[in-house]
Amino acid sequence: MSGWLVIAGLGPGDVELVTPEVSHALAQATDIVGYIPYVRRIAPRPGLTLHESDNRVELERARHALEMAQAGARVVVVSSGDPGVFAMASAVFEALEAEPAVWRALDIRVLPGITAMLAASARAGAPLGHDFCAINLSDNLKPWAVIEKRLRLAVEADFAMGFYNPRSRARPDGFGRVLDLLREACDPERVLIFARAVSTAEEDLRIVTLAEAQPEMADMRTVVLVGSSRTRLIARDGARPFVYTPRSVSE
């Protein structure tokens, strides 16, 4: 049997947002590898082995998947959202670069998914309608000084921004520091969107101003979108406003 390795994105939560390409790979797989809650999104079936692992063991997970593919298994490494956005694709290639050269001959493919930032943007309207950037606020793999520098430069460039991993039990204070930094540099009416568990039964989307934003509004299931200085609200009677950023910029 010829083995292969697919690194796939399961989208933000709703099964309808898993791409047909990813569904086909899952149907062909002999082994599924990933973080516990993501693997549990895959229905068990005969001939399929599910390999759950905890958070913060990405490289070990990647090596295990490569070893199984080398041995002839058809392996899918799953991430939520898109595997190339703060997820497992980079971990697999990091392991591939550092480990036995024989792995480089494997059939390895990355299948895109709908990342949380884009799902949240679609729910709100089009807040990422012009130039934007994504910043991972976790300092587990990079120092806080790097996060702060990138954030300040993104604000200076007037990007709309998507914040991943804003606040966790292990990092309860960092997002408050982010809000303080934004308040130093931005108008208090700057639009923020707190989008939690988008496309699931627990979905919650709140549109607030920077002045109203509080650290407790975010957790690890929340992606936070920050509008640029040009981002606008379109009010609607009896309904949540639309948020969008115009496509044109004039000096």
Kindly report, residue by residue over 56-70, the tens digit of the pLDDT.
899 999 999 999 999
4-114 and 117-244: identical CATH topology: no
pLDDT of residue 251: 65
In this predicted model, what pLDDT tens digit does every residue of 84-114 receive, in sequence order?
999 999 999 999 999 889 999 999 999 999 9
Which CATH architecture is the domain 117-244 placed in?
2-Layer Sandwich (3.30)
Q: How far, rounded to the nearest angstrom, does the alpha carbon of residue 112 sit from its chain's CA centroid? A: 12
In 3D, which of 58, 189, 165, 153 has the Cα closest to residue 117?
Answer: 165
pLDDT of residue 218: 96
CB neighbour class for 67 (10 Å; exposed up to 12, middle 13-18, buried from 19): middle
Q: How many residues does the chain have?
A: 251
Would you say residue 1 has pLDDT above 60? Answer: no
How far is the C-alpha of 143 from the C-alpha of 77, rounded, in Å?
A: 27
In this predicted model, what pLDDT tens digit does every residue of 120-147 receive, in sequence order?
999 999 999 999 999 999 998 899 999 9
Q: Are 244 and 231 in contact (CB under 8 A)?
A: yes
DSSP secondary structure letter of residue 193: E
pLDDT of residue 100: 86
DSSP secondary structure letter of residue 64: H
Q: Span 219-243, mean pLDDT?
A: 96
Would you say residue 55 has pLDDT above 60? Answer: yes
Range 4-114 classified under CATH 1.10.20.60: no
Identity at 107, one-letter amino acid code: D
Strands 239-244 and 125-126, by their bridges, are parallel
* List of residues 6+ apart from 124 with CB closer than 8 A: 193, 195, 205, 207, 225, 242, 243
Retrieve residue 220's tokens.
């690890």
* List of residues 6+ apart from 249 with CB closer than 8 A: 130, 230
Least confident of 170-179, 182-191, 210-219: 170-179
How far is the C-alpha of 251 from the C-alpha of 249, rounded, in Å?
A: 7
Retrieve residue 29's tokens.
């797989």
Domain boundaries, the chain: 4-114, 117-244
pLDDT of residue 169: 84
How far is the C-alpha of 241 from the C-alpha of 87, rounded, in Å?
A: 31
Percentage of the chain beyond pLDDT 70 is: 99
User: If you average pLDDT over every residue of the chain, what do you get?
Assistant: 95
Compare 169 and 83 and report the one with higher pLDDT. Answer: 83
